[in-house]
Structure 1
Amino acid sequence: MTLMPPPGVYAPQHDTWLLIAALEREKLTGDTTVLDVGTGSGALALAAARRGAGKVTAVDVSALAVATAWVRARLEGLRIQVMRGDLLTPVADRHFDLIIANPPYVPSPDTRGGRAVAWNAGVDGRALIDQICQDAPPLLRPGGVLLLVHSALCGVGGTLERLGRADAPAAVVDRRLIPFGPVLRERAAWLEAVGLIEPDDEKEELVVIRAERTPRQRPEASGTSRMRRV
């Protein structure tokens, strides 16, 4: 049985399927702990549970999204923990092997609420991306992976740089060009005016970024390396 997300809950789209394809390349076992940030309808959390991840946690700020993900999991007989809260705040004291995130990333000239909060992300589209780049790596175990999808309109280089500074070297592992949807078509004139698209652009590029947490190197007690005398 397929449960369609109710109005106001982000329904699976191109970015969801692209991220699921990246998720399917990761090795998941009964010991793997997974966090789905901004779960929406729960599509990514459920995909991880189907793949055999041992413990899956899904977080969303929307009570309606939390309820939708919970109901879908029960209908499929899958066990996931669903929590309501802002991004990683509800799980700030935990660590994970894999964090997956499909946050709002559409550049927006305004701060409209309602259904638009599922895609609006500030004038550069990075309002939530930057926060995830900062807050997600510390919650990864050494060797843990972050999979993040967003539009290239937001600036791929900025994401790679921020994750690298957070001890999580990153690379683009998937790209896909898709036609502008209704939101970008509506904003095309503004996007062109601020230099985010060219006049004849009709497609946007989605990217999946994979970052892997590296352990911090423990410094020498003196702060400098020492040579051993023989």
Structure 2
Amino acid sequence: MWLMRPPGVYRAQEDTDLLISRVVQEPLRPGDEVLDVGTGTGAVALAAAGTGARVTAIDVSWRALATAWLNGALHRRRIRVRHGDLLAPVRGRKFALVVSNPPYVPAAAAEPPARGPARAWDAGPDGRALLDRICREGPGVLDRGGVLLLVQSSLCGVEATCLALERSGLDVRVTAQRVQPFGPIMSARAGWFEERGLIAVGEREEELVVVRGVRPR
């Protein structure tokens, strides 16, 4: 589906496609509540809305939220947009499905950027600044039997994500995997990744994975 994307809004890429491929496999029913955390252009939110689910999309970027809402209107798929930091705008609510394609690229800066385009991908030295927060907070907004879907790179610790979600009480497994060459941002940092031991010398591929956690009924 064609999506409007103004400058400064993260372009839906292979990780988005991989996450959508799992979202459409979930047995969503019309009226089920779905939450998209870090919606960007709204690509994942729109895929969920296509099932008849009631979708709420969160982003810290006002421009991203406007883009997601407009893309929903263009494709006649209604999504509710909320501005805020991760799950803060939906405290007290419960969802059948929570999905996220968060920033996960390791970066030299100790903290993720507060503004600018890199805010959509930089996530601290281990790439887990946002992942760890979602693993801690995400299970708390799931209905019984609810599902959390996260997409990330192998460079930022797939096992760490699985263990964190298990500690939060979810039943966890990896449901999708895809190996792909580094894009421009990862390629530019490859030497630093080697120095940090995140990749082998000369390695220029990453594995994208979707982690699925289920809250027991």
TM-score range for the pair, normalised by the shorter chain length:
over 0.9
Letter in 1 for 2:92: D
In 2: Cα distance, 1:3 partner to 1:101 partner:
18
The answer (yes or no) to whether the contact 2:4–2:71 under 8 Å persists in 1 is no
Summarize the alignment of residues 94-133 of structure 1 with structure 2, pairs less than 5 Å apart: 94-110=93-109, 111-112=112-113, 113-133=115-135
Q: Deviations over 1:163-216 (max 9, x none)?
A: 00111121111110011000111101110000001112111000000000125x
3-state SS in 2 of match to 1:100: strand
In 1: Cα distance, 2:131 partner to 2:2 partner:
30
TM-score (norm 1): 0.90
Letter in 2 for 1:148: L
In 1: Cα distance, 2:180 partner to 2:169 partner:
31
Partner of 2:41: 41
In 2: Cα distance, 1:51 partner to 1:30 partner:
7
Letter in 2 for 1:10: Y
% identity of equivalent residues: 53
In 1: Cα distance, 2:208 partner to 2:135 partner:
17
Partner of 1:10: 10
- Structure 1 position 138, deviation (Å): 0.9
Summarize the alignment of residues 165-204 of structure 1 with structure 2, pairs less than 5 Å apart: 165-204=167-206
In 2: Cα distance, 1:78 partner to 1:31 partner:
13
Matched, 1:149 2:154: no
Q: 2:210 aligns with which of 208, 211, 221?
A: 208
The answer (yes or no) to whether the contact 1:12–1:43 under 8 Å persists in 2 is yes
In 2: Cα distance, 1:155 partner to 1:29 partner:
32
Q: 1:138 aligns with which of 137, 140, 148?
A: 140
- Structure 1 position 31, deviation (Å): 2.8
- Structure 1 position 8, deviation (Å): 1.0
3-state SS in 2 of match to 1:136: helix
Q: Deviations over 1:49-69 (max 9, x none)?
A: 11221x100000000000000
- Structure 1 position 92, deviation (Å): 1.2
In our comparison, the structure showing a higher alpha carbon Rg is 1
Structure 1 gap ranges (5+) = 216-230
Partner of 1:80: 79
Letter in 2 for 1:12: A
The answer (yes or no) to whether the contact 2:106–2:126 under 8 Å persists in 1 is yes
In 2: Cα distance, 1:44 partner to 1:59 partner:
12
3-state SS in 2 of match to 1:45: helix
- Structure 1 position 28, deviation (Å): 1.2
TM-score (norm 2): 0.96
The answer (yes or no) to whether the contact 2:175–2:210 under 8 Å persists in 1 is yes
- Structure 1 position 120, deviation (Å): 0.1
Q: What is the count of residue pairs matched by the alignment? A: 214
In 2: Cα distance, 1:129 partner to 1:78 partner:
28
In 2: Cα distance, 1:103 partner to 1:90 partner:
16
Partner of 1:223: none
The answer (yes or no) to whether the contact 2:3–2:41 under 8 Å persists in 1 is no
**Comparing 102-111 with 1-10, which one deviates more in the overlay?**
1-10
**Comparing 61-70 with 71-80, which one deviates more in the overlay?**
71-80
